[in-house]
Structure 1
Amino acid sequence: MMHFLLFLLFLFAPATVLSDDPAFNDDVLGLIVFKAGLQDPKGKLSTWNEDDNNPCKWAGVKCDPTTNRVSAIVLDGFSLSGHIDRGLLRLQSLQILSLSKNNFSGSINSDLLRPGSLQVLDLSENNLSGSIPEGFFRQCGSLRSVSFAKNKLTGKIPDSLSSCTLLVTVNFSSNQLNGNLPSGIWFLRQLQSLDLSNNLLEGEVPEGIENLYDLKELNLQRNRFIGRLPGDIGGCMFLKSLDLSDNFLFGTIPESMQGLNSCTSLNLHGNSLTGAVPDWIGELKNLEMLDLSANRFSGLIPKSIGNLNSLNKLNLSRNHFTGNLPESIVTCVKLLALDISQNQLEGRLPSWIFRMGLRSVSLSGNSFNSSNYPLSTSTPESYHGLQVLDLSSNAFSGELPSNIGGLSSLQVLNMSANNNSGPIPVGIGDLKSLYILDLSDNKLNGSIPPELEGAFSLSELRLQNNFLSGEIPAQIEKCSSLTTLILSHNKLTSSIPAAIANLTNLQYVDLSWNELSGSLPKNLSNLSHLIFFNVSYNQLQGELPVGGFFNIISPSSVTGNPSLCGSVVNHSCPSVHPKPIVLNTNSSYSNSNSSSQNHGHKKIILSISSLIAIGAAAIITVGVVAITVLNAHVRHSMSRSAAPFTLSGGEDYSCSPANDPNYGKLVMFSGEAGFDDGANNLLNKESIIGRGGFGIVYHTVLRDGHSVAIKKLTVSGLIKSQEDFEREVKNLATIKHQNLVGLKGYYWTSSLQLLIYEYLSRGSLHKLLHEDENGRNMLSWRQRFKIILGMAKGLVHLHQKNIIHYNLKSANILIDCSGEPKIGDFGLVRLLPVLDHCVLSSKIQSALGYMAPEFACRTVKITEKCDVYGFGILVLEVVTGKRPVEYMEDDVVVLCDMVRGALEEGRVEQCVDRMLVGNFAAEEAIPVVKLGLICASQVPSNRPDMAEAVSILELIQCPSEGQEELE
């Protein structure tokens, strides 16, 4: 109410007198109206008082001493929320308005620049939404700096921005702005810094940038710009930082860039640039950071890089460079980080790498083939700074250097996937700062050195796939920070040391495929952070630990140990019996005569023999009876499982009159009738309509005539207990959305679990796209767009419910009779006790091409972004009509690569299903394809979330066609 009254006062009483100074009157009134519309949880604006006629002493307010007018409002980080009110328009002399790092919401007021005096406007790091008003900058007057960074703004950058000729700094980064760059943006001749990174901007970067003679910083990274690098960019002679990374730029590096003599940072990462890196790159002598990674550069690494004496970071990874590292790099005396991984380099490992004082070296994924490592025995001082050394996935052979302990600052050592042999150097124990050690996939032999305890900072130890023997040293307990211990596929013997249970931070343990014996330490159950524990295929025996993680451990994690017992392996442990009583047959008859002694002795022997015979007969009899009863019970259970299921009103119902838990439990959530043919129909191969990572799907009909789809789960060995299973299934049944397949009910026994879903007669998206040979059900462009948008909305709903699907593929997208897509198989991973990468990739992710790359890396957390990746692949599949991976006669075509290449070369027709050529909306199809590529980015952080994807699709959709009748 106070806000409303003040607003009326502001509108209708502009001449109200509050003091003798009219300047203060207007400013006080404007500020109080502004404050009235805010929430101030920390009381930062407590000094703003309408009874105080002098605002110059208020928090965050500054005045011009010559005019007594408010000239600056700086409220950064005040935790304020609400809307930016029109009250600020009253401040006619305001020059600086900075409201960054708050929680302001709503849209940007189109009149905010109306007073004409504003020079600095900073609304960054808030929750502002909507578009920047088209005419916003027509009143920019004296505006020199504007920042809307890190908000939720959408729409295009208004063309009116080009009229702000005094602008020096523009920052619209980290929003959702789209469209092309304004045509006149290069005429802001005083511009020194332009940051439009992390948006959805597209089109080509236009020529004319050379007009920005004073430009010092240009950041356009993580957008969708396509085409070549601007050929005149070298005209920006004072440019210090240029970042065009993570776009769709192609072609070669333009010659004009050799004019960027002032440039200190050049980042072209994550494009599709080709050709050789020109020799003149060495003329940019002020470069401190050069990142050309994740492109398609080829040829030799130019020797001229050695001229870059100021260089401290060089990243040429993920290209097609050949040859060896040029010796000249040794003259880059300030170089701290060198990454040339994932190329085609070969030859010996240069010795100078260890003499340069580098902090990080990554040469992984090449073909270096040294048989020894050039570490000097004198361990020069320059070694001490090396923190990361990654030589993995090369062709190195020979023994690891014995003096590796001289790399005293090493934190990450990765020499995996080589041909190294010999023992693990005991000097590893001297690496006190080491937290990741990966020597896996080599030919190392000998034992794990006890000296490893010296590397007490270790967090990850990976030694799998070697020929290591001997025992696991108990001294490993000194590495108290260990979270990951992978020793699988070796020849380790003896028992698992009980000391491992003292590593309280352990999360992942894999000791499988060794020759370990003895029993598992019982106190392993105290490892409260354990997520994965695998000891399969050893020679372990005895009872499994009870409690904690071991109550839900997967049977596959302990298989291959025949002498292990416990409920998980369905092998009961033998009971402990008291020692047998030994009868001294002579003691009772010691005083008898000889014949009496013999007679008595004979009687006792006969008695014991009789008892044994009787006992044996009894055991045999019991066994026969037990087998007979079991056979009868099995036959009876099978006959009952084939009996019709009936149910009323959505209540739990057991079909057994005695409520026998082994008989089965059918639950329907909406009062549907039971099955006419019972389990017999489920076992009928003719009614199979699908197969997947979780099980086989059948079609059946309820008593009332309604069709349903039944998923017979085939992951019974991994399923939780009945109580957990029912709780999770009932939770899934509450998740309802027009783009999600509805769960109707379930059936449970300890050996059979069924999920009952709604039946969709049109079948799967995969069937419509790839199995309609006659084209009778050919999907129109409008139908395809509807499917893409519907899938996106369904995923948004799942993610809002904290459900990651993990298994998106066209076979799991079903289409109803109106053409609406429905996502199936969601939430099923919640039925599993452990969500480890191995289970997800082998049991669930059954379709090639949809799996996000982070599934291959155990150290990367699986998030909703893996669903975004699968969605991106689905988008490309729907638009092109092609499978994610297609096997040709002599080639394998990966859909992502094919579409990206076609788009870069302007072959738009190859990005769209040939059945749609000439009958699709190009202005929609191309942005949709680009969205698919962005969603399928290799780097999870580069992918949008699904809510952003929906917003983008709704912006892409042509208004005139959005309501068009579906074909």
Structure 2
Amino acid sequence: MGLQYFLFLLMLVLSQFNLSSQATYGNQSQFFTLMKQSFSGKSLSRWDIQVPFCNYTGVGCNDHGDVVKLDVSNWSLTGNLPTNLCSYLPQLRILRLGQNNLHGEFPATIINCSLLEELNISGSVLTGTLPDFSPMASLRLLDLSYNSFTGLFPISVFNLTNLEVLSFIENERFTWWQLPEDLSRLTKLKSMILSTAIIHGKIPASIGNMTSLVDLELSGNYLVGQIPVEIGKLKNLQQLELYYNLLVGEIPFELGNLTQLIDLDLSVNLLNGKIPESLCRLPNLQVLQLYNNSLTGEIPSIIGNSTTLRLFSLYDNYLTGKVPLNLGASSDLIGLDLSENKLSGELPPEVCMGGNLVYFLVLQNQFFGQIPETYQNCKSLVRFRVNSNHLQGRIPEGLLGLPHVSIIDLSSNNLEGPISRTIGNAKNLSELFIQRNRISGVIPPEIAQADNLVKIDFSNNLISGPIPPEIGNLWKLNLLLLQGNRLNSSIPSSLSYMNSLNVLDLSNNQLTGPIPDSLCELLPNSINFSNNQLSGPVPPSLIKGGLVESFLGNPGLCVSNYLNSSETIFPACPQIHTRKRESCIWAIGISIVVVIFAAILFLKRWYSREKVVIDQDEMVSLSSFSHVQNFHKVSFDQREIIDALVEKNIVGRGGSGTVYRIQLSNGEAVAVKKLWSEKIKDSATEDQLILHRGLKTEVETLGSIRHKNIVKLYCYFSSSDLNLLVYEYMPNGNLWDALHRGRNILDWPTRHRIALGIAQGLAYLHHDLMPPIIHRDIKSTNILLSADYQAKVADFGIAKVLQARGGKDSTSTVIAGTYGYLAPEYAYSSRATVKCDVYSFGVVLMELITGKKPVEPEFGENKNIIYWVSCKVETKDGAMEILDNRLSGLFKDEMIQVLRVAIRCTCSSPALRPTMNEVVQSLIEADPCRFDSCQSSSKIKESSNATKIKNHLNYD
């Protein structure tokens, strides 16, 4: 009886277990059905309903058929995760949903998954607040990086004592929070990655008790105080990243106890004192980055013995003394940047012994001696910059011919000897700067074989001989500066082949012979042939193009007698020369006819006392223009512009004059800015006279620039009555009007595109021009918008080109700019730097984000938008209140991300502001269209050491 009863009970239990298993299987099957209903994405087609779900891609089951792993990361899914996940999958241990487009807030029911050991929902665009994670005691990995969570950081995660990995990278919408003093309870934690997570305050000393840590990353926050010496107790630590904070004091020598350390980055802080020798003894150190601090003293010589060092970056400090001569002799260096210090002595000769050196940057120091011959064997080099030192001797024979090098800058040294013919081997060379040395010999014709060259500057050397005609084959060349040498012989006509040429300066040489007719084709480029020994007729189109000054100091030049020689400083050519320019005359024949016709019309109007209305309150009679300068090929003449300067075409007035929109006969539109003239100086205000004096600056600056985000200047007309600048017309006006006066509200993707365009234009001015240009008046009224709302930087009337004698990235000048946009240091020191432009750009970013003006009554008396924003972000939900409430909530995450960029740009300390190159990268990463079908800016996120080299060694 007992046996039968036992068998009965056993059968009952088994049947119930079977029913339970069937129910569990049904629940799990239902979950995958819900997943396919909740998400869109081609990847889910891998889940065939005819196949058991345990065989699905990304699904793992245990021996009982229970789903224990779900990994759909990087599947490009869009949608919402089914609620009550663990009601369907009660045995789930691993959940990976990262790099998808999950909608809405964090799926709070996940905290019911009490068995979950790994949760990764990184890069999934989730919003909202986070729950209390305390119920998830089994978690070993929690990665919620690259989302946009708001509210308080979930401090409860520091109670999860089984955690081994904790990552919250790039969550910039949390309320400011501090690391808890008792975080050392996480005794098993190996990786704590809290970069760009709005942490402020000090790093707790108790962090030294987290001895399991292998990776500690707290970069991009607002940490203050000193680096705790207790970090030196973390014997297993391999990666320590504290860059982009506000840390002060000296680097603790105790960090030299971290014998397992591979990567140490303390850059962009306020650290001072010497580099501890103990750091340079670390046996496994591959990356040491301490750039942009205030470090002093010498580089410890022991670093030269390192066998592991690959990236060594110390730029922008106050380091002195010599560089260890054996640096790189025993290690496989990839990047070395010691720029902008006070280092001296000789360059380390064995720096590329490992054969993989990509970047060698030591500019703006006090190095002397010769460039080591061994450098010509650095076949892997991409960027080589040793400019602004005291180097002497010859350039190593093969240095200019390295096969992969893109930039070589040897300028402002005392180098001598010839330019090697090996330059023809430099197939990747883009920019070659050797100006301000004592280079002699001739320009080798082999230079034409380096056919990727864009910029060449050989100015102010002792180069002699001819300009090789082969140089005309460099069709990509944008800049060719040869002035201040001893070049002789004639100008080769092949220069006209270089259709991309923007600037050509051959002045202050000994060039002879005529100016080739074919150079007429070079218009509209900046040309300077002054102070040579040229003779014969000047091509008429060059004179009519307003380039008379470009030919001064050539006594043998003349003008054809059909031109009025009284309009130029040159005598009329003898009759024998008049037929020698027929090809150029034909090239400009139509222009001459137009000029004659315009003169006849002018005379007719003059004698009939006809006047042209220039603006509402002013009547100015026309006279011929004494100066005309074209910067682009134009399809209109002066008369067409002058006739259209009437009241109905006025689109704006300002302190510098009046702006007209003129519809041309060819259907195109241009914008014409009429500036104050010499004739009205007596009645002009002081501000107007300052602007008038700035006219030449604007013309010279804009005329030499070619960039999609810089407004295009077509030409310049000047006479005793008028100064006219003719620009491309921007149909959507300026950004100020679009934001604060426009009927149509710009959506966030459009505003982001505008911000990125401005940033790219400024990055070009700051980093791509030699010398760089400070705009000095960045504001929303100086940002013009095209028909498709592409942004272009305009109004260079007070721009200033940096002068080498003005110091590092700076120039002393009178105060210019606009209240509300001015960087604080510029207001009290009158010293303009590129960081002043960065500050002003940050204000424009805040305008785009908030929709508010830089100064508004609601900010308070004597308060501006920066003060208002800084007060708001300190409150729990203040950051959300900052966002323009006229916009939909679709892109709040990305707007907060850009707000962080704006806050960094407007730091009171210039040293803490990013460069415009860094701003461009940050804005690309904040692209609101990166997961949508709309046109997206390219987004690249890299975290390897190779990326560090690319991002941190940023001398372009």
Question: What range is the shorter-chain TM-score in?
Answer: 0.5 to 0.7
Letter in 1 for 2:24: A
Residue 513 in structure 1 maps to residue 489 in structure 2: no
Change (3 A) 1:197 1:477: farther
Partner of residue 363, structure 2: 364
Letter in 1 for 2:154: P
Change (3 A) 1:523 1:663: closer
**Where does 1:301-340 land on structure 2 (aligned, <5 Å)?**
301-329=299-327, 332-340=330-338
Change (3 A) 1:404 1:578: closer
Letter in 2 for 1:396: L
Aligned match for 2:135, one of 129, 139, 142: 139
Residue 35 in structure 1 maps to residue 36 in structure 2: yes
Partner of residue 71, structure 1: 68
Letter in 1 for 2:112: R
Partner of residue 264, structure 1: 262
**Where does 1:573-588 land on structure 2 (aligned, <5 Å)?**
none
Letter in 2 for 1:25: G
What TM-score results when the alignment is normalised by the length of structure 1?
A: 0.63
Partner of residue 23, structure 1: 24
- Distance in 1 of aligned mates of 2:504 and 2:676: 42
Partner of residue 937, structure 1: 913
Aligned match for 1:164, one of 160, 166, 175: 160
- Distance in 1 of aligned mates of 2:96 and 2:73: 6
Aligned match for 2:461, one of 466, 481, 500: 466
- Distance in 2 of aligned mates of 1:792 and 1:683: 44
Tell me how many residue pairs correspond in the alignment. 745
Change (3 A) 1:354 1:330: closer
SS at match of 1:228: coil
- Distance in 2 of aligned mates of 1:679 and 1:414: 39
- Distance in 2 of aligned mates of 1:800 and 1:270: 24
- Distance in 2 of aligned mates of 1:735 and 1:387: 42
Partner of residue 886, structure 1: 829
Q: Which stretch has the larger CA shift, 324-333 or 553-562?
A: 553-562
Q: Which stretch has the larger CA shift, 88-97 or 286-295?
A: 88-97
- Distance in 2 of aligned mates of 1:531 and 1:895: 32
- Distance in 2 of aligned mates of 1:460 and 1:394: 21
Kept in 1, the 8 Å contact 2:838–2:906? The answer is: no
- Distance in 1 of aligned mates of 2:400 and 2:777: 53
Change (3 A) 1:923 1:799: closer
Which string of whole-angstrom CA distances, capped at 9 and with x for unpartnered residues, describes residues 634-671 of structure 1? 763479975799xxxxxxxxxxxx9993562424789x
Q: Which stretch has the larger CA shift, 85-94 or 792-801?
A: 792-801
Change (3 A) 1:943 1:224: farther
SS at match of 1:397: strand
Letter in 2 for 1:366: N
Change (3 A) 1:474 1:940: same
Which string of whole-angstrom CA distances, capped at 9 and with x for unpartnered residues, describes residues 202-247 of structure 1? 2222221112111111122222222211221011100011111122
- Distance in 1 of aligned mates of 2:712 and 2:609: 20
Kept in 2, the 8 Å contact 1:296–1:319? The answer is: yes
Higher relative CO (Cα under 8 Å, sequence separation at least 6) belongs to 2
Residue 632 in structure 1 maps to residue 607 in structure 2: yes
Partner of residue 799, structure 1: 754
- Distance in 2 of aligned mates of 1:63 and 1:625: 89
Kept in 1, the 8 Å contact 2:777–2:818? The answer is: no
Q: Which stretch has the larger CA shift, 155-164 or 925-934?
A: 925-934
Residue 664 in structure 1 maps to residue 646 in structure 2: yes
Aligned match for 2:81, one of 66, 79, 84: 84
Residue 150 in structure 1 maps to residue 146 in structure 2: yes
Query: Alignment RMSD, CA only?
Result: 6.0
Partner of residue 283, structure 1: 281
Cα deviation, residue 794, structure 1: 14
SS at match of 1:322: strand
- Distance in 1 of aligned mates of 2:430 and 2:641: 55
Aligned match for 1:924, one of 871, 883, 896: 871
Kept in 1, the 8 Å contact 2:735–2:783? The answer is: no
Which string of whole-angstrom CA distances, capped at 9 and with x for unpartnered residues, describes residues 475-494 of structure 1? 23555665654445545455
SS at match of 1:210: helix
**Where does 1:549-698 land on structure 2 (aligned, <5 Å)?**
629=604, 631-632=606-607, 636-637=611-612, 661=643, 664-667=646-649, 691=688
Change (3 A) 1:142 1:634: farther
Q: Which stretch has the larger CA shift, 347-356 or 62-71?
A: 347-356
Partner of residue 797, structure 2: 843
Give ranges in structure 2 of 5+ residues lacking alignment: 1-15, 579-596, 621-639, 653-657, 659-673, 695-710, 763-772, 812-816, 840-858, 875-901, 929-956
- Distance in 2 of aligned mates of 1:812 and 1:456: 36
- Distance in 2 of aligned mates of 1:714 and 1:64: 63
Change (3 A) 1:694 1:284: same
Cα deviation, residue 141, structure 1: 2.9
SS at match of 2:539: strand
Kept in 2, the 8 Å contact 1:366–1:393? The answer is: yes
Cα deviation, residue 273, structure 1: 1.0
Kept in 1, the 8 Å contact 2:69–2:95? The answer is: yes
Kept in 1, the 8 Å contact 2:164–2:191? The answer is: yes
Residue 440 in structure 1 maps to residue 383 in structure 2: no
Kept in 1, the 8 Å contact 2:713–2:727? The answer is: no
Residue 826 in structure 1 maps to residue 783 in structure 2: yes
Cα deviation, residue 79, structure 1: 2.0
Kept in 1, the 8 Å contact 2:717–2:724? The answer is: no
Partner of residue 189, structure 1: 187
SS at match of 2:471: helix
- Distance in 2 of aligned mates of 1:252 and 1:679: 54
Cα deviation, residue 365, structure 1: 1.1
- Distance in 2 of aligned mates of 1:201 and 1:872: 32
Kept in 2, the 8 Å contact 1:522–1:544? The answer is: no
- Distance in 2 of aligned mates of 1:478 and 1:893: 36
- Distance in 2 of aligned mates of 1:229 and 1:834: 42
Change (3 A) 1:186 1:105: farther
Partner of residue 242, structure 2: 244
- Percent identical pairs in the alignment equals 22
Cα deviation, residue 251, structure 1: 0.6
Give ranges in structure 1 of 5+ residues lacking alignment: 1-14, 581-621, 646-657, 698-712, 744-789, 814-822, 858-869, 899-911, 952-967
Change (3 A) 1:82 1:443: same
Cα deviation, residue 464, structure 1: 3.0
What TM-score results when the alignment is normalised by the length of structure 2?
A: 0.64
Kept in 2, the 8 Å contact 1:554–1:717? The answer is: no
Letter in 2 for 1:541: V
- Distance in 2 of aligned mates of 1:570 and 1:152: 70
Cα deviation, residue 358, structure 1: 6.4
Aligned match for 1:400, one of 368, 377, 395: 395
- Distance in 1 of aligned mates of 2:106 and 2:515: 68
Aligned match for 1:180, one of 177, 181, 191: 177
Cα deviation, residue 554, structure 1: 9.1
Change (3 A) 1:659 1:111: closer
